[in-house]
């Protein structure tokens, strides 16, 4: 006589219903409301708002600095994950815990600390000033702030995949005469690339929408160091809800398209 074992989680219909309701309340309905509000504008009005020089400058700055920060963390984060997985050394657990610090630390606190560090009279900024360039209140400072905030995304995405790669595979390739560069190219890269792209996409998406850690170190100079989230706040402070909604829709569409392309590339790489 067979005994029916009830599943721990309810059936597909019930769990799908909870998922759709939760996703609708948290994500879909707010985003749909933003599109509905933007639809009250004519196309000419919407285009005039999003094509304004100030908006285009903020758009370019936000996406370029987020891209640079994600690329930097793609390299540095992978190296950190490699060290934490492949080596044992004193203080390893402390470093591993410190990587998650940007998740726990309020972004405004991080922004104030970075600004105090990189201003021309700061501990690091004074040496940069002696060399003839500035870090704070420039796109470079924004990139550094985004690099700090988005570092855990790459490390925590690559780290478990790297830990699951058998060391025996690398040792077998070395025994067959493969050089270290060949082992890296033909064994490690194919295994790590999908996870790396996921971490890169998460870091990029977080960097585009980051606000708290950037506004202090950016200087917020229109056409120079003004990011899109700050411009949206400026529009809201001026009670220009249509302008803020239009910029938000632009930001959402561009981010979605870029993330979609990254996900399609990731699926293509994972396909055997």
Q: What is the mean pLDDT of each run of 10 residues along the chain (272 residues)?
A: 57 78 85 85 89 92 93 93 89 89 85 88 86 88 92 92 82 79 82 88 89 87 89 89 89 86 78 62
Helix axes 53-86, 139-164, angle to 10 degrees: 40
| 140 close to 72: Cβ distance less than 8 angstroms | no
Measured on CA atoms in the order 159, 161, 164, 169, is the torsion positive or negative? negative
Break the chain into its structural domains and give their ranges. 1-39, 43-270
Q: Which CATH superfamily is domain 43-270 in?
A: MetI-like (1.10.3720.10)
| 201 close to 154: Cβ distance less than 8 angstroms | no
What's the confidence (pLDDT) of residue 27? 82
What's the confidence (pLDDT) of residue 179? 81
| 137 close to 219: Cβ distance less than 8 angstroms | yes
| 205 close to 221: Cβ distance less than 8 angstroms | no
User: Distance between CA 69 and CA 216 in Å, rounded?
Assistant: 17
Joined together, the tokens standing for residue 213 give 């850690």
| 232 close to 156: Cβ distance less than 8 angstroms | no
Joined together, the tokens standing for residue 1 give 């006589």
Place of tokens 């950190």: 80
Joined together, the tokens standing for residue 45 give 């009005």
């Amino acid at each position: 006589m067979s005994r029916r074992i009830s599943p721990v989680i309810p059936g597909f219909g019930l769990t799908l219903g909870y998922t759709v309701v939760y996703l609708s309340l948290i994500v879909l309905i707010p985003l749909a409301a933003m599109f509905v509000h933007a639809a009250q504008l004519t196309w000419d009005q919407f285009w005039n708002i999003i094509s304004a020089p100030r908006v285009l400058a903020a758009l370019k700055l936000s996406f370029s600095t987020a891209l640079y920060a994600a690329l930097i963390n793609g390299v540095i984060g992978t190296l950190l994950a490699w060290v934490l997985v492949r080596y044992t050394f004193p203080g390893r657990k402390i470093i591993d815990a410190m990587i998650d610090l940007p998740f726990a630390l309020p972004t405004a606190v991080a922004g104030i600390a970075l600004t105090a560090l990189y201003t021309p009279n700061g501990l690091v900024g004074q040496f940069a000033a002696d060399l003839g360039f500035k870090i704070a209140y420039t796109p470079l400072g924004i990139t550094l702030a985004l690099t700090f905030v988005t570092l855990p995304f790459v490390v925590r995405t690559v780290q478990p995949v790297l830990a699951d790669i058998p060391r025996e595979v690398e040792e077998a390739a070395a025994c067959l005469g493969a050089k270290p560069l060949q082992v890296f190219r033909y064994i490690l890269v194919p295994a790590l690339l999908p996870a790396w792209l996921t971490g890169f996409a998460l870091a990029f998406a977080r960097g585009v929408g980051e606000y708290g850690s950037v506004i202090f170190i950016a200087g917020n100079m229109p056409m120079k160091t003004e990011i899109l989230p700050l411009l949206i706040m400026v529009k809201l402070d001026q009670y220009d809800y249509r302008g803020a909604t239009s910029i938000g829709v632009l930001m959402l569409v561009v981010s979605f398209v870029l993330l979609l392309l990254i996900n399609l590339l990731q699926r293509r790489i994972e396909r055997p």
